[in-house]
């Protein structure tokens, strides 16, 4: 157990919490004294994760593209634990990787539904609950370095993540003086199933694929290794805690230094490795 519990007594909701960065954050939050509602559409994995975390965790199946389900999720957290202190709007995926010339309205809408509208709903209903309680609160959103630099992902995803920056800043401004904060984490190349899904790799080969990606790109970051889910969990823990009480409207890159340099080869290395991986299969 953590010697100092940074979230002692707090209640948090984490979307996309059944795996990857969301699950790592749920584990960190519980370790630091929080009670956590895990939300995901992966029913079995989400329920198993909550059961493993014990009485401090509760799973609610939630499709975050439905504003009504996000509203119900906030209500479920209050019903389960009596209040809400932290909303980590983390769920997301590339959805449509088409270049702009091939992007359809339907593909754009599907991508925006998950990577922008879902975050809007999380902000809306979390802020409402904080105001109803008359308490401060922290809203954290998983953005992406794709909001800062082209080439990290498809056009629709990049546009959605850029809009997240405006959402965070607008929410921070609209809640001035209330203690309600909104900040974003911008992950770089983090070794999770999101990368596996982007390149169509079967789940039974996920570990092999991610290990190869990590070996290929590690030396390209300023830190000297690829990102891990725990790196994002650490940033979320900071932004959820009182250590960041005077921080709002901020977008924090957690990318091993990738966006600090003019040119980064990480995405090209991942793409090249994926092609080689499939060719050798």
pLDDT at 266 (0 to 100): 73
Q: State the average pLDDT over residues 141-158.
A: 95
Residues 6 or more apart whose Cβ sits within 8 Å of residue 150: 158
- Name the one residue in this structure whose structure tokens are 């975390």: 53
Q: Which residues contact 277 (CB under 8 A, 6 or more apart)?
A: 199, 201, 209, 212
Band of pLDDT at residue 1, cut at 50, 70 and 90: low
Tell me the per-residue pLDDT of 114-147, one tens digit each, with 9 for 90 and over: 999 999 999 999 999 999 999 999 999 999 999 9
Token duo for residue 117:
């509208």
- Please tell me the predicted confidence (pLDDT) of residue 221: 87
Please check the confidence at residue 3 and state whether its pLDDT lies above 80: no
Model confidence band, residue 60 (pLDDT cutoffs 50, 70, 90): very high
* Share of the chain residues as helix, strand and coil, in percent rounded to the nearest 5: 55, 15, 30
**Mean pLDDT, to the nearest integer, of 221-246?**
96
The pLDDT score that the predictor gives to residue 191 is 92
Domain ranges of the chain: 11-188+228-256
Per-residue pLDDT averaged across 203-212, rounded?
89
The answer to which of 12-21, 33-42, 77-86, 261-270 has the lowest mean pLDDT is: 261-270
Q: What are phi and psi of 162, to 5 degrees?
A: -65, -40
pLDDT for the residue numbered 261: 82
pLDDT at 264: 58
- pLDDT greater at residue 113 or residue 266: 113
CA quadruple 247, 250, 251, 252: dihedral positive or negative?
negative
**101 or 263: whose pLDDT is higher?**
101
User: What percent of the chain clears pLDDT 70, i.e. is strictly above it?
Assistant: 98
Give the whole-angstrom CA distance, residue 67 versus residue 105: 21
Whether the predicted pLDDT of 12 surpasses 90 = yes
* Catalytically active residues, by annotation: 157
The per-residue pLDDT for 160 is 98
Q: What is the mean pLDDT of residues 213-223?
A: 86
User: Could you tell me whether strands 35-40 and 57-61 are parallel, antiparallel, or unpaired per DSSP bridges?
Assistant: parallel
pLDDT (0 to 100) of residue 137: 98
Domain at 11-188+228-256, CATH class = alpha beta
SS3 257: coil
User: How confident is the model over 241-267, as pLDDT tens digits?
Assistant: 999 999 999 999 999 998 988 665 677
pLDDT of residue 48: 98
């Amino acid at each position: 157990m953590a010697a100092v519990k940074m979230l002692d007594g707090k209640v948090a909701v984490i979307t996309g919490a059944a795996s990857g960065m969301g699950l790592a954050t749920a584990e960190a939050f519980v370790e630091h004294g929080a009670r956590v509602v895990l939300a995901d559409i992966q029913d079995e994995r989400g329920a198993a994760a909550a059961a493993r975390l014990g009485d401090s965790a509760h799973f609610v199946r939630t499709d975050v593209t439905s504003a009504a389900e996000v509203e119900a999720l906030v209500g479920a957290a209050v019903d389960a634990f009596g209040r809400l202190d932290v909303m980590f709007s983390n769920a997301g995926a590339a959805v449509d990787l088409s270049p702009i010339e091939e992007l359809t309205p339907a593909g754009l809408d599907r991508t925006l539904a998950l990577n922008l509208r879902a975050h809007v709903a999380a902000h809306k209903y979390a802020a409402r609950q904080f105001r109803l309680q008359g308490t401060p609160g922290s809203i954290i959103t998983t953005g992406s370095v794709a909001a800062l630099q082209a080439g990290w992902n498809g056009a629709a995803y990049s546009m959605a993540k850029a809009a997240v920056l405006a959402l965070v800043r607008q929410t921070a401004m609209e809640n001035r003086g209330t203690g309600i904060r909104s900040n974003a984490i911008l992950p770089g190349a983090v070794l999770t199933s999101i990368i596996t899904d982007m390149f169509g790799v079967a789940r039974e080969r996920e570990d092999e694929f991610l290990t190869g990606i990590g070996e290929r790109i590690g030396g390209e970051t300023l830190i000297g290794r690829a990102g891990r889910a725990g790196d994002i969990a650490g940033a979320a823990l900071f932004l959820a805690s009182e250590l960041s009480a005077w921080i709002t409207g901020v977008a924090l890159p957690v990318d091993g230094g990738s966006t600090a340099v003019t040119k980064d080869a990480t995405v090209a290395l991942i793409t090249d490795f994926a092609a080689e991986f499939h060719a050798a299969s």
